Chain A
């Protein structure tokens, strides 16, 4: 399970607070924090705000890597409109205890914003300064299905460090150079792990995937067949249960659509990039009044198709879903992505 380049250390529970304090010195720290009745990844100003035993964070890392509201430039009319670019600061941002699925999601944001001919300087700067310290999922959440979309509750993808909760503390696996920079600075808080601790962590890691309650059908087989299902009655059936809100797309860790608007008050203005959603009618409305996606069925189809058909056809092998389950669990009408995929799979099988 543990790759050769990575190193293993043990962080005793009693050193956790010191570890968090140290991370706050090393950069801007984001960690699971109580926000009213929910838990979310937020900036930590006080180490005791970090939740040790926490629910799935409501949003993934997207909100940190590509914030919902990003001011791209500012201007002042009095100064003759010289626009000032407002690139994010280059300081290190550390995300403590993101989940492996949310870290995997960055692969698909990178496809679009970073590893692409149109690398986005705002995203790139945030991305390059991001250090991800994951916490493996010993106990996956009820709607998780990472195991059947190419992930794992202990996936290392995009993580700089991975923690596994064991008796008395955490086994800390340092995966990348960025992670090494952190672990070198917290050395005094770490111990050499015992053989028992390593075995315990390996067992936890090996058994986690079996605890996933839900599984997607064979998605890589499905993505090739999906374009033939464009006119399937499945879309209408599920579309009419939809209320057209943006929950599924705004909480999706791999969604990235945005819109750009200018706002000006008393001669001072800014250009802002804010998230947009394919579930909103205006998203595709033409100036002529024609809307190529005029109803909820076509908009729901777009969301599913983009993840499982269009994205993998643009980036082979990249199915843009990490199996976090948020879209289904938080859907007000219980529109179940896996049930839709199951029906598509069945319909696609019949046609073949």
Chain B
């Protein structure tokens, strides 16, 4: 995003805040180095000047709509809409949340932005290790887009174009469109050439393997899980207040009585041994069928490097094949579990 675009975004948010039409707005601020960013809740005109939008803006903000339901960002009597900055890939999550009545469309004011790809920190780490980026770049560099190029403005005032493949999140390399389909204000130009959901074929090699080989692969992945629940807590479909497959938060709500909590069965151990991990990760994947929008935030977030996106892509592929449904495609259909059609396949049930 050019500096004029950023100024435009800041101005749009500032004006809404000033006019009192929003109770707050979700954007990003610069993070712990040039390649990182973190969420920023803008409540005042002054807050807006810290807002950024650049290739460093990797975290999705959509999760914070669920967070707002659980830990309200403003007093409950404040019914004004919440502003949120959305990139092209983020609208899928918001569409599903609207369909599942987690948020109403009118509760949101969406600032659409034109995103040309965001950074994968693990890839940046590799470049640092190889000496292709330096500490100086982290501390004093600035990232920006120039059309589709990722440009690093270095400390000594030079401009360097970074290779997209070696620095961007994999999901950005198969981007379906730069701007969101739902928005109230568009900063810059709307992407009229949205390609539709990206075709993902990297699960085919896994599908070709035998059941035993696949089982072995997943057991090896699942054995690394430390059950930090980052995949669930970052997830845009994990909106349950009490998670049935997590013994640590099943009693999250103060609305449940002590008796309820004591008598609730623990479906799954809180240890991180293989059987519990398998139960946790597979149940979560199935719970996401028709709801997971493959934003791949779980994959970005997992500290143990589990291939969670393969699991989700597989479920997504099967849902599409069986029900011709894709989470986040449109506000006009679904949700998957809320609709039943005569032609729905049923053979796998028996």
- Residues of chain A whose beta carbon lies under 8 Å from any beta carbon of chain B: 35-38, 55, 58-59, 68-69, 142-143, 213, 240-241, 243-247, 250-251, 259, 261, 263, 272, 274-277, 280-283, 285, 287-291, 294-296, 328-330, 332-336, 338-339
Give the size of the chain B interface in residues (CB under 8 angstroms): 59
* Chain A to chain B: the 9 pairs with minimum beta-carbon distance, closest first: A245-B230, A246-B228, A334-B31, A334-B38, A37-B305, A332-B301, A69-B271, A38-B305, A245-B233
B248 at interface, CB cutoff 8 A: yes
Given A289-B258, A334-B38, A243-B230 contact (CB < 8 Å): yes
B224 at interface, CB cutoff 8 A: yes
Given A142-B125, A142-B138, A243-B234, A328-B32 contact (CB < 8 Å): yes
Q: For chains A and B in complex, what number of residue pairs have CB atoms within 8 angstroms?
A: 141
The chain B residue with its CB closest to the CB of A261 is B270
- Residues of chain B whose beta carbon lies under 8 Å from any beta carbon of chain A: 31-33, 36-41, 59, 63, 67, 71, 73, 121-122, 125, 128-129, 135, 138-139, 220-221, 224, 226-230, 232-234, 247-252, 254, 256-258, 261-262, 266, 269-273, 297, 300-301, 303-307
Of the candidates A37, A142, A241, A276, which one forms a contact with B39 in the assembled complex, judged by CB atoms under 8 Å apart?
Answer: A241
The chain A residue with its CB closest to the CB of B67 is A243
Establish whether residues A289 and B32, one from each chain, have CB atoms under 8 Å apart when the complex forms.
no
Chain A residue contacts of B139, Cβ below 8 A: 213
Given A142-B125, A282-B252, A241-B271 contact (CB < 8 Å): no
Interface of B is mostly: loop
Given A245-B229, A250-B228, A332-B300, A291-B254 contact (CB < 8 Å): yes
Establish whether residues A68 and B305, one from each chain, have CB atoms under 8 Å apart when the complex forms.
no
The chain B residue with its CB closest to the CB of A212 is B135
The chain A residue with its CB closest to the CB of B220 is A36
Tell me the complex Cα distance, A287–B254, Å.
Answer: 10
Establish whether residues A272 and B229, one from each chain, have CB atoms under 8 Å apart when the complex forms.
no
Establish whether residues A288 and B258, one from each chain, have CB atoms under 8 Å apart when the complex forms.
yes
The chain B residue with its CB closest to the CB of A243 is B233
Establish whether residues B269 and A272, one from each chain, have CB atoms under 8 Å apart when the complex forms.
yes
Tell me the complex Cα distance, A299–B231, Å.
Answer: 19
Of the candidates A240, A330, A332, which one forms a contact with B234 in the assembled complex, judged by CB atoms under 8 Å apart?
Answer: A332
Tell me the complex Cα distance, A307–B153, Å.
Answer: 37
Q: How far is the CB of A62 from chain B (nearest CB, A)?
A: 11
Of the candidates A36, A276, A296, which one forms a contact with B221 in the assembled complex, judged by CB atoms under 8 Å apart?
Answer: A36
Tell me the complex Cα distance, A339–B40, Å.
Answer: 14
Output the residue of A142, A285, A287 with the most chain B CB within 10 A: A142
Other A-B contacts than A282-B251, A336-B32, 11 sampled, CB-CB below 8 A, are A37-B122, A58-B303, A68-B226, A213-B139, A245-B229, A250-B303, A261-B271, A274-B271, A290-B254, A328-B32, A336-B31
Interface of A is mostly: loop
Tell me the complex Cα distance, A68–B272, Å.
Answer: 7
Tell me the complex Cα distance, A272–B33, Å.
Answer: 40
Of the candidates B38, B129, B261, which one forms a contact with A55 in the assembled complex, judged by CB atoms under 8 Å apart?
Answer: B129
Chain B residue contacts of A282, Cβ below 8 A: 248-252
The chain A residue with its CB closest to the CB of B232 is A245
Q: How far is the CB of A320 from chain B (nearest CB, A)?
A: 20
Establish whether residues B138 and A35, one from each chain, have CB atoms under 8 Å apart when the complex forms.
no
Establish whether residues A289 and B254, one from each chain, have CB atoms under 8 Å apart when the complex forms.
yes
Tell me the complex Cα distance, A310–B122, Å.
Answer: 34
The chain A residue with its CB closest to the CB of B33 is A142
Q: How far is the CB of B232 from chain A (nearest CB, A)?
A: 8
Establish whether residues A272 and B271, one from each chain, have CB atoms under 8 Å apart when the complex forms.
yes
Tell me the complex Cα distance, A276–B246, Å.
Answer: 12
26 pairs from A and B in contact (CB 8 Å cutoff): A36-B305, A38-B224, A38-B304, A58-B303, A59-B226, A69-B273, A142-B128, A241-B40, A245-B228, A245-B301, A246-B230, A247-B228, A251-B228, A261-B266, A261-B270, A282-B251, A285-B252, A289-B256, A330-B303, A332-B300, A333-B38, A334-B38, A336-B31, A336-B32, A338-B32, A339-B32
Q: How far is the CB of A104 from chain B (nearest CB, A)?
A: 21
Q: How far is the CB of A290 from chain B (nearest CB, A)?
A: 7
Establish whether residues B271 and A243, one from each chain, have CB atoms under 8 Å apart when the complex forms.
no
Tell me the complex Cα distance, A25–B125, Å.
Answer: 35
Establish whether residues B271 and A68, one from each chain, have CB atoms under 8 Å apart when the complex forms.
yes
Q: How far is the CB of B191 from chain A (nearest CB, A)?
A: 27
Establish whether residues B125 and A55, one from each chain, have CB atoms under 8 Å apart when the complex forms.
yes
Chain B residue contacts of A335, Cβ below 8 A: 38
